[in-house]
Structure 1
Amino acid sequence: MSRYHDIAATLIDIECELRSLGQWDKVAPPPEALRSEQPFAVDTLSFSQWLQFVFIPRIRYLLDSDSELPSACAIAPMAEEMYRGLSLPIADLLSALEKIDGLISEP
């Protein structure tokens, strides 16, 4: 159960980092934007919005319902790509995303 607690704590870290970067929205996107079928909802959401409105709630739901987690996770590389060229200090966010990748992907 410690793994689930570590994942929950890391989700909080991700939220804190997004907030500190000014990448946490106060208003949710329209429902149709959340129904994207594209990876990371790249056609309807920014990466930060995807983390906030899709990834974090989905993983929290899985944790809260004691459901099986995905067998693999690789969000940090996408974050690196999506934030490339922006002048945001994302090192701590990337660190938290790398941590969540490792925690979810471990057997």
Structure 2
Amino acid sequence: MAASAALVADQLLLIERALRTQGWWDSAPPSKQALASQEPFCVDTLDFSQWLQWIFLPRMKAIIEAGASLPAVSGIQPMAEQVYGVGNRQASELLKALGDFDRLITAG
């Protein structure tokens, strides 16, 4: 059974809240060129928090709003741990929210 869209939507809000709480939420979008990066997580043009805000969250919201199938697996937390460090207290709320998202998607 796939993860419910409502649960995923709630988790996306928690991820957004964590970004905002840490001051990692930008008021202006990056350039179109930065958003068009072909690298995973746009590592060559965006900070990880920018990728979450401007790529990941909008794509996931679009999937939910379209009623499309959610991904079957997610591994965003390990990337976040590489960026922020596993024991980073400042990023702990975000790391937890991303880990919960990964588990929600993967558990279905």
Q: TM-score, normalised by structure 1?
A: 0.91
Structure 2 gap ranges (5+):
none
Deviation of residue 84 (structure 1)? 2.5
The code of the aligned residue for 2:97 comes to: A
The residue aligned with 2:103 is 102
Counterpart Cα distance in 1 of 2:91 and 2:3: 27
Instruction: List alignment gaps of at least 5 residues for structure 1.
Output: none
Runs of 4+ in 1 over 4 A off after TM superposition: none
Q: CA RMSD in A?
A: 1.8
Aligned residues: 106
| Equivalent residues in 2 for 1:65-80, closer than 5 Å | 65-80=66-81
SS at match of 2:51: helix
Distance 1:82 1:59 in 2: 21
Shift in Å at residue 104 of structure 1?
1.6
1:1-107 equivalences in 2 (<5 Å): 3-84=4-85, 89-107=90-108
- Which sits farther off after the overlay, 90-99 or 58-67? 90-99
TM-score, with normalisation over the residues of structure 2? 0.90
